[in-house]
């Protein structure tokens, strides 16, 4: 059933297009930086470091995709979980196959989780290749001004890809929860994306400072702490707790809604 979900995801043309577009982003970014420079040495999001070392193209790509495009891609997939099956009319046939509703949610959730990690790792690999094609690679300069070996740097890049994947857990969880409330996939996608954008907005309003630690996007950029010396783990570990918390919270909402829902689609 789990493998079947993965196959279902990968056989879809839309998923393939999403993948290709996201894998091309590092190349586009590399080309732009190569042509126009890295923002005059003041650029945010590692742009200023890319020309210094191609390895930072991965971080520049991930941090430029993370606020909007990655959540969009992931919410397209995760919000399709139940709402998509409902709108295809396949939900009633899955449940009479029969598959228990609990297991269906678990399989939808786990296949989406695999999707986000595959996505973030492949974007990073694409970024590594693009970075080394366009820019010099070698010893890696950390944000703290110290340097580590190239392979140490590659390891850090792969770790940060995993942490970006991890940051998207909340998008999967919220998407699946919302998708149990509607039979319209587009509505669920917009709802999920809206929730993420709302979180990003609240994260900048000091009046609600008290709930910042609970916002799903609050620790999203903590992966950059890997590139400090020493590595600062507090943000990273808070992000892990936050994402797992959202996974459990949103899954429990999805289960409460879906377990006894009348399937009329």
Partner 1 sequence: MNVMSRTASKRILYSIPVIIGSSALAVALIAPQIATAQTPDLPSVTTTQLVSWISNSHPVPLSGTVTGVTSFPIPSVSALSKNPSASLSGSSSASYNIWENGKGSFRIQSLTTSGETDLYVIPGSVWLWDSSKLTATKEAIANYGSLGVTSSPNPQVTASSIVSKLSRQATLSVSGTTVVAGRPAYTLSISPNAPDSLIGSINISVDAVTHLADQIQVIPKGSATPAASLGFNTVSFSAQPNSIFDFSPPPGVKVVIPKTQKINGSPRPTSSPATQAKPKIVGTGFDAVVVAHIPTKALSRDGALLKVLHQVSTSQGTAYEYSNPIFQALILPNGTIVAGSVSTSRLIKVIGTL
Partner 2 sequence: MTELEQTLSSGTSNAGAYQDYAIETKSLTKAFSGREAVSDLSLRVPVGSIFGFLGPNGSGKTTTIRMMLGLVSSNKGDITILGQPVEQLNQLARVGVVVEGPGFYPYLSGFDNLQRFAEVSYPAQKRLNPETSKLRRPDILQSLERVGLVGAKDKKYRAYSLGMKQRLSIAAALMWPRDLLVLDEPTNGLDPQGIVEVRELITSLNQEGMTIFVSSHILSEVEMICSHIAIMRDGVLQFQGSVEDFKGSLSKEFSLVTSQVDLAKEILVRFEFIDLHSCKIEGNHLTAQLSSENIEEIVKTLVEQGVGIRSVGLVEPSLEDAFVALTGRSSNVS
Options 8-16, 28-36, 152-160, 220-228: segment touching partner 1 (CB under 8 A): 220-228
Closest to 65 in 3D by CA, of 10, 113, 116: 116
SS3 at position 106 = helix
Q: Which stretch binds partner 1 (CB under 8 A): 14-22, 65-73, 152-160, 230-238?
A: 230-238
Which residues pair with residue 147 across a beta bridge? 141
Phi/psi-derived region of residue 40, left when phi > 0, alpha when psi is between -120 and 50, beta in every other case: left
Taken in order 12, 251, 73, 156, is the CA torsion positive or negative?
Answer: negative
Give the residue, chosen from 3, 20, 35, 230, that forms a contact with partner 1 under the rule CB under 8 A. 230
Q: Which span (19-27, 79-87, 162-170, 203-211) binds partner 1, by CB under 8 A?
A: 203-211
Using CB distances below 5 to 8 A depending on partner kind, what does residue 182 bind out of partner 2, partner 1, none? none
User: Least distance in Å: CB of 127 to partner 1?
Assistant: 15
- 197 contact partners, CB below 8 Å, separation of at least 6: 68
- Closest approach, Cβ 261 to partner 2, in A, equals 9
The b-or-e profile of 228-251 (16+ CB within 10 A means b, else e) is eeeeeeebbeebbebbeebbebbb
Least CB distance to partner 1 at residue 63 (A):
7
Q: How many CB atoms lie within 10 A of CB 127?
A: 29
DSSP code, position 141: E
Q: Which residues from 130-149 bind partner 1, rule CB under 8 A? A: 139, 141, 143-147
**For binding to partner 1 (CB under 8 A), which residues are involved?**
41-42, 44-46, 48-49, 52, 59, 63, 139, 141, 143-147, 206, 210-211, 213-214, 221, 224, 228-230, 232, 234, 245, 248-249, 252-253, 255-256, 259-260
**For binding to partner 2 (CB under 8 A), which residues are involved?**
1, 3-4, 7-8, 11-14, 88-100, 102, 260, 262-264
């Amino acid at each position: 059933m789990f493998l079947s979900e993965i196959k279902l995801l990968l056989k879809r043309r839309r998923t393939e297009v999403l993948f290709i577009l996201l894998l091309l982003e590092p190349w586009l970014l590399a080309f732009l930086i190569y042509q126009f420079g890295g923002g005059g040495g003041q650029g945010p999001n590692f742009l200023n470091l890319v020309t210094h070392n191609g390895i930072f193209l991965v971080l520049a790509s991930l941090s430029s995709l993370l606020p909007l495009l990655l959540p969009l891609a992931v919410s397209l997939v995760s919000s399709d979980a139940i709402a998509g099956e409902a709108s295809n009319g396949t939900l009633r046939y899955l449940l009479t196959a029969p598959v228990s509703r609990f297991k269906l949610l678990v399989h939808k959730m786990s296949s989406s989780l695999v999707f986000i990690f595959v996505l973030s790792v492949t974007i990073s690999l694409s970024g590594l290749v693009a970075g080394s094609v366009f820019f010099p690679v070698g010893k890696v300069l950390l944000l703290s001004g110290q340097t580590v070996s190239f392979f140490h740097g590659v390891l850090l890049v792969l770790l940060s890809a995993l942490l970006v994947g991890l940051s998207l857990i909340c998008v999967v969880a919220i998407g699946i929860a919302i998708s149990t409330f509607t039979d319209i996939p587009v509505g669920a996608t917009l709802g999920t994306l809206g929730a993420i954008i709302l979180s990003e907005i609240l994260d900048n309003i000091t009046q609600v400072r008290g709930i910042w630690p609970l916002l799903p996007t609050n620790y999203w950029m903590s992966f950059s702490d890997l590139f400090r010396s020493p590595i600062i783990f507090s943000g990273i570990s808070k992000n892990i707790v936050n994402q797992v918390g959202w996974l459990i919270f949103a899954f429990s909402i999805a289960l409460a809604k879906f377990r006894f829902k009348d399937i009329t689609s």
